Structure 1
Amino acid sequence: MTPEQNDLLCRVEGDAPMGQLMRQHWIPACMSEEVAEPDCTPLRVRLLGENMVVFRDSEGRVGALDELCPHRRASLVFGRNEECGLRCLYHGWKFDVNGNVLDMSSEPEDSALRKKMKTRAFPVTEAAGFIWVWMGDPDNVGEFNAPNWSSAPDEKISIMKIHAACNWAQILEGAIDSSHSSSLHSTNMPTADDVSGSTATDTAWLRPSADKSPRIEVEKTSFGFRYAAIRKPIRDADKQDYVRTSLFIAPFTAIIPSNDQYHLSQLLIPIDDENTFFYWIAWHPEKGISRDAWRKFCGAEIGKDVEPVTFRKMRNYENNYLQDREAMKAGDFTGIYGIPCQDMAMWESMGRIADRSEDHLGSSDKAIFTFRTQMYRAAQAVQKGEPAIGTTEPSIPQANLMTFQGMIPKGEDWREYNISDEERALRAKSKTGKSQKVTA
């Protein structure tokens, strides 16, 4: 990619086409637990380079307002959240969740300003453990497409959150890169010959394959694409393949293969051009993992591994992620605790915005190549005034989208495993029904 193409793919602030594309989708602003109680502490949120304040009022309604008070531009984050509104500390102006003025302490009762003043309020919905906001055209609010983990009850949804000091696209590329897990995460995802698929323990996910060079096949879809990483299993390699499928749901969601205890989904949400919030959701309708156990497994416990409120990492680039070289000599592959921090060390070491013009892609990078070309062209389309990817027909409910991991007999088509009825119907209408060939 040229530097100009790289900018089009990565940058989201202001009028950047990729940011305008994302504004045609509902965007997670924060976890529900961050504003859990009525009249809780207001939360500063930055998305796509814009600052807002999120709060829950006395009746439990959630609001997302422009962070700065329209009076003299002081921050509402410091305001008083009480009696169904957020009151600015500077002059006492108070706003409800819809941006309407409830009180203007510094103005006379008959002031004309009271009648016409309103601050910007973003449409909000709460679902699946998150507060979602609409940052696009307020007169053309899109339908909310619930994510796949919304099918689980709230108590079976566990969310981990970490701040990443780099651009969203290089994080998403990491999320859809199946081949790296066999090296970078090999200590956490060890090989075992007595399992038939990904098997979770308290400290690891066991795998039935030692193959570090999977064969990658990609199938484009209306929502993005799905792809398969096909590996040689330890047992009966002449009769079966170990297959792990992943999904990219444009513009910022990755669904990665499950294990025997919980499903796994990720959100890679741009704070601005150079910072991202990484959310990792572990969920299951019946089984699952507790929130505390999930964060401990990931090395993302609040107050221990990440700072409260900001979710900045205690293990970071400046301190080399507290990499333990003695542990490496003893057999730990990276010497870095937790799968997310292992990833962060790679992502952040590329720089705030990775220079893709210096990349040398190989056959294991077919999903990366597909992401770059698909989203680059999607940004170009928005630049021309066309609708964003994932917002037009045929539309597939995200709640029905799932991955697959397990053994399949040699010669069988991985595309037929664990797909939704909607996808199957669309595939039946296609002329070939075959995966689109992608050349890296």
Structure 2
Amino acid sequence: MTPEQNDLLCLVEGSAPMGALMREHWLPACMIEEVAEPDCTPVRVRLLGEDMVVFRDSKGRVGALDEKCPHRRASLAFGRNEECGLRCLYHGWKFDVDGNAVDMSSEPVDAKLRTTMKTRAYPVEEAGGFVWVWMGDPEKVTPFDAPNWASAPADKISIVKMHGACNWAQVLEGSIDSAHSSSLHSSNMPAATDVAGSTATETAWLRPSADKAPRIEVQKTNFGFRYVAIRKPIVDAETTDYIRMTLFVAPFTVHIPSNDQYHLSQMLVPIDDVNTMFYWIAWHPEKGIGQDAWRKFCGAEVGKDVEPVTYLKVRNAQNNYLQDRDAMQAGDFTGIYGIPAQDMAMWESMGPIADRGDDRLGSSDKAIFTFRTQMYRAAQAVSRGEAAIGTTEPHIPQGKLMSFEGIVEKGADWRLLNVSAEEREITLRDEKEPSEQEGVVA
């Protein structure tokens, strides 16, 4: 990729086409738990280079406002959240969840400004443990399409949140890279002969394959793509395959293969050009894993592994992610605790925005190639005034999209695994796979 192509793929701030594409989708602003109680502390949020503040008012309604007070641009994050509004500390101007000025104590009671003053308020939805905001044209708000985990009860949805000090695209490429799990996460995902699929314990996910070189196949869809990593199982390798199917739901969601206890989804949300908020959701309609146990497993406990409020990592580049070389000598592959921190060490080591011009992709990178090509062209389309990827018909509701993991007979059509009849009809119409001769230049 040329520097210009790389920028089109990665940059999201201001008038960047990729940012315009993102604004055609609902974006997660924060977790509901961060604004759980009426009149709670407001939460600073930065998305696509824009700063906002999220709060829950006295009646339980959630609002998302421009962080800067329209009066003199002081931050509303310091404001008093009281009596159904957020009051700026500087001069006492107060705004409700719709952005209306409901009090302007520094202005005369008959001032005309009192009747016209508003600040920007973003449309808001609550679902699946998140507060979602619409950052696009306020006159063209699309219906909210809840993700698949929103179908689970609230107590069966557990969320890890962690700041990533690099661009969103290299984080997302890590999430759709099945091959790296056999190396980077090999201590957390060891091979085992006595399991038929990914099997969760308190400390690891056992898997029925020791194959480190999966065969990758990709199927492009109108929501993004699904791809499969096909590995040799330890048992019955002559007649069966171990299948791990992942879904990329444009522009920032990835559904990772489940284990026997919970499903797994990630959102890799651009804070700005060089920062990303990493969300990892473990969920299940009946089983699942508790919030505390999930964060402990991931090394993402708030106040221990990540800072409160900011979700900055305790294990970070400045301290080499607290890598333990003695543990490596004793058998731990990375010496870094927790799957997210292991990933962060790799992603952030590429630099704030990875230079893809020097990459040497191999056969295991087919999903990476597809992502770069697909999203580059999607950004080009938006720059031409065309619809954003994932917003056109026929539309498959996000709640119907699921990954798959398990041992199947050799030759089984992986595209039909764990797919609804509605989705099957739509996605099997175009069976063309991306060609490595396509390149990324349209």
Q: Provide TM-score, normalisation by structure 1.
A: 0.98
Q: Hey, what does 1:117 align to over in structure 2?
A: 117
User: What amino acid maps onto 1:222 in structure 2?
Assistant: N
One-letter code aligned to 1:417: L
Matches within 5 A, 1:17-28: 17-28=17-28
1:253 corresponds in structure 2 to 253
Corresponding residue number in structure 1 for 2:16: 16
**Correspondence for 1:92:** 92
Instruction: Tell me the residue number matched to 1:338.
Output: 338
Name the CA distance, whole Å, in 1 between partners of 2:246 and 2:3: 28
Q: Is 1:374 aligned with 2:371?
A: no
Q: Counterparts of 1:75 and 1:410 in 2: how far apart (Å)?
A: 59
> What is the 5 A alignment of 1:123-142?
123-142=123-142
Matched, 1:434 2:438: no
User: What 5-or-longer segments of structure 1 have no aligned partner?
Assistant: none
Measure how far apart 1:412 and its partner are: 1.4
Q: Secondary structure at the match of 2:277?
A: strand
Between the aligned partners of 1:224 and 1:129, the Cα distance in structure 2 is: 24
SS in 2 for 1:406: strand
CA distance in structure 1 between the partners assigned to 2:151 and 2:87 by the alignment: 37
Determine the C-alpha separation between the residues in 2 that align with 1:29 and 1:427: 30
Letter in 1 for 2:52: M
Residues 175 and 254 in structure 1, CA contact (< 8 A), matched pair in contact too: yes
- Aligned-partner Cα distance in 2 for 1:198–1:62: 38
One-letter amino acid of the structure 1 residue matched with residue 230 of structure 2: I
Distance in 1 between residues matched to 2:299 and 2:434, nearest whole Å: 38
Partner of 2:358: 358
Q: Distance in 1 between matches of 2:284 and 2:144?
A: 21
Q: Quick check: 1:265–1:282 contact (8 Å CA) kept in 2?
A: yes
Q: Residues 314-325 of structure 1 correspond to what in structure 2 (within 5 A)?
A: 314-325=314-325
Question: Which residue pairs with 1:307 in the alignment?
Answer: 307
Name the counterpart of 2:397.
397
Query: Is the 2:100–2:118 Cα contact (8 Å) retained in structure 1?
Result: yes
CA contact 1:163–1:277 (8 Å) conserved in 2: yes
Distance of 2:264 and 2:408 partners within structure 1? 21
Residues 33-432 of structure 1: pairs in structure 2 closer than 5 A: 33-427=33-427, 430=429
Give the 3-state SS of the residue equivalent to 1:277 in structure 2.
Answer: strand
**Contact preservation (8 Å) 2:42, 2:53:** yes
CA distance in 2: counterparts of 1:434 and 1:65, whole angstroms: 44
Cα separation, 1, equivalents of 2:242 and 2:34: 39
Cα pair 1:366 1:438 within 8 Å, conserved: no
**Superposition deviation, residue 421 in structure 1:** 2.0
Q: Do the aligned partners of 1:179 and 1:214 also contact (CA within 8 Å) in 2?
A: yes
What are the Cα deviations for residues 261-288 of structure 1, in whole angstroms up to 9, with x where unaligned?
0000000000000000000000000000
The number of aligned residues is 437
Partner SS, residue 170 of structure 1: helix
| C-alpha distance in 1 between matches for 2:286 and 2:269 | 28
TM-score by length of 2: 0.98
Give the distance between the partners of 1:437 and 1:5, measured in 2 at CA.
18
SS in 2 for 1:348: helix
**CA deviation vs aligned residue, 1:133-190 (integer Å, no higher than 9, x gap):** 0000000101111101011010100000000000000000000000000000000000
Pairwise CA distance, 1:438: 3.5
Partner secondary structure for residue 114 of structure 1: helix
Task: Return the offset for 1:246.
Answer: 0.0
Does the Cα contact within 8 Å between 1:256 and 1:403 map onto a contact in 2? yes
The unaligned stretches of length 5 or more in structure 2 are 438-442
CA distance in 2, matches of 1:420, 1:225: 15
Where 1:379 maps in the other structure, the secondary structure is: helix
Query: What is the Cα deviation at residue 420 of structure 1?
Result: 1.9
**One-letter amino acid of the counterpart of residue 438, structure 1:** S
Question: Deviation of residue 439 (structure 1)?
Answer: 2.3
CA-CA distance at 1:116 after TM superposition:
1.0
- 1:425 Cα shift? 1.7
In the TM superposition, residue 427 of structure 1 has moved relative to its aligned partner by 4.1
Q: Which amino acid aligns with 1:60?
A: G
Q: Deviations over 1:88-131 (max 9, x none)?
A: 00000000000001000000011011011100000000111000
SS at match of 1:388: coil
Counterpart contact for 1:240–1:408, Cα < 8 Å: yes
Identify which range, 410-419 or 300-309, moves more after superposition.
410-419
Question: Structure 1: how far apart are the matches of 2:423 and 2:280?
Answer: 25
**SS of alignment partner, residue 150 of structure 2:** helix
Runs of 4+ in 1 over 4 A off after TM superposition: none
**1:435 positional shift:** 5.0
CA distance in structure 2 between the partners assigned to 1:43 and 1:30 by the alignment: 8
Q: Answer whether contact 1:218 1:438 (CA < 8 A) is retained.
A: no
CA distance in 2, matches of 1:75, 1:345: 33
Give, in whole Å, the separation in 1 of the partners of 2:227 and 2:269.
Answer: 22
- 1:51 aligns to what SS in structure 2? strand
**Aligned residues of 1:13 and 1:48 also touching (Cα < 8 A):** yes
Query: What letter matches 1:182 in structure 2?
Result: S
Quick one: which amino acid aligns to residue 216 of structure 2?
I
Q: Do the aligned residues in 2 keep the contact of 1:213 with 1:231 (CA within 8 Å)?
A: yes
Counterpart in the other structure of 2:440: none
